[in-house]
């Protein structure tokens, strides 16, 4: 999957970056977006590693041990040296970003965690040795300023517009990111019984479905679906929505995510 421009790349991954930030991320959205663009040149590869994380260490719930060998370069003894290295491969951009958060939670990156501004975080990523490029910090800051990426810091600090009310039928539901083609396309809400509910119009139409309303139930491509109505937003079970669109909804217990597949 490749973005046609740097702006397209930023737009493609922004919702995933914001979702991870809202879940309590260390890295600010502006810094993460800049880093992803710098590390990849604006291309989303099928292995979804947007930050150059090497394939060492112990697998976890976000990284299952898969790897790809790619050409890279490191700054060694004052010069750039070409080499090959094994990089972690992920099932989605979301999985990569959550795995990166586990990396940044290590004591080595305490100064990144303590940094309160994009500029300070960019500096501390270099100081703590995330990359060997001595210009890493200035490159990140330049990208942040060029594309106005601080706007995503503001977006991530606000509540999502499709969050259910605190007193409606989805009261107490846990957030469950909905993934498609490696990216977060919506937020679902999982009730204690296990069903994940999603905003039918927003998600259904974004996936090419024809969404209607009978007065009591939402319809997707002409199929009536059981609907929970909360503050004028209709929610349907993600598996029912997927079936009406000719797709599958795959639940991943470890990460609390749903992946939509054809």
* Degrees to nearest 5, angle at CA 20 with 1 and 200: 75
First and final C-alpha spacing in the chain:
16
pLDDT of residue 83: 67
Let me know whether 149 and 194 are in one domain: no
Let me know whether 137 and 232 are in one domain: no
Number of residues in the chain:
262
Residue 163 lies in a domain: no
pLDDT tens digits for range 95-107: 999 999 999 999 9
Write the CA distances from 72 to 33, 46, 119, 142, 235, integer angstroms.
Answer: 20, 17, 26, 22, 45
Let me know whether 130 and 208 are in one domain: no
Q: Give the domain CATH number at 218.
A: 3.30.457
Out of 8, 77, 82, 99, which one is annotated catalytic?
A: 99
Let me know whether 45 and 134 are in one domain: yes
Whether this prediction's pTM lies above 0.85 is answered by yes
Q: Report residue 218 as tokens.
A: 């939402």
pLDDT of residue 154: 97
Let me know whether 92 and 196 are in one domain: no
- For 102-114, b/e burial (b = at least 16 CB within 10 A) is ebbeeeebeebee
Would residue 74 show up in a list of annotated catalytic residues for this protein? yes
- Could you tell me which of 123, 97, 98, 96 has the C-alpha nearest to residue 111? 123
pLDDT tens digits for range 18-66: 999 999 999 999 999 999 999 999 999 999 999 999 999 999 999 999 9
User: Which of 156, 185, 209 is the last residue in one of the domains?
Assistant: 156
Strands of 64-221, DSSP E? 67-76, 79-88, 174-180, 183-190, 196-199, 211-213, 218-220
Out of 8, 39, 66, 74, which one is annotated catalytic?
A: 74
Let me know whether 131 and 188 are in one domain: no
pLDDT tens digits for range 150-167: 999 999 999 887 789 999
Would residue 99 show up in a list of annotated catalytic residues for this protein? yes
Q: Give the domain CATH number at 122.
A: 1.10.530.10
Which domain does 228 fall in, by range? 174-261
Residue 166 lies in a domain: no
- What is the total count of domains within the chain? 2
Let me know whether 204 and 145 are in one domain: no
Residue 89 lies in a domain: yes
Q: Rounded CA gap, 34 and 241, in Å?
A: 34
């Amino acid at each position: 999957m490749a973005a046609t421009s740097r702006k397209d790349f930023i737009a493609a991954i922004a919702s995933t970056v914001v979702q991870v930030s809202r879940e309590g991320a260390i890295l600010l959205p502006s810094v993460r977006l800049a880093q992803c663009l710098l590390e990849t040149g604006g291309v989303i590869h099928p292995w979804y590693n947007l930050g150059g994380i090497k394939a060492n260490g112990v697998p976890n719930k976000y990284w299952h041990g898969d790897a790809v060998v790619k050409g890279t370069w490191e700054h060694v003894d004052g010069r750039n040296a070409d080499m090959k290295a094994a990089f972690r491969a992920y099932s989605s951009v979301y999985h990569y970003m959550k795995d990166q958060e586990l990396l940044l939670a290590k004591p080595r990156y305490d100064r990144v965690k303590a940094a309160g501004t994009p500029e300070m975080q960019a500096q501390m990523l270099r100081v703590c040795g995330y990359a060997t490029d001595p210009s890493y910090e200035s490159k990140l800051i330049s990208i942040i300023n060029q594309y106005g990426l601080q706007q995503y810091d503001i977006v991530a600090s606000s509540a999502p517009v499709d969050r259910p009310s605190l007193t409606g039928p989805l009261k107490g539901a846990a957030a469950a990111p909905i993934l498609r083609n490696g990216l977060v396309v919506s937020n679902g809400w999982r009730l204690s019984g296990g069903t994940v509910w999603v905003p039918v119009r927003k998600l259904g139409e974004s996936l090419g479905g024809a969404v209607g309303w009978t007065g009591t139930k939402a319809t997707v491509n002409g199929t009536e679906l059981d609907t929970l109505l909360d503050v004028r937003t209709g929610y349907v079970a993600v598996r029912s929505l997927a079936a009406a669109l000719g797709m599958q909804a795959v639940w991943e217990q470890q990460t609390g995510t749903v992946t939509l597949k054809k």
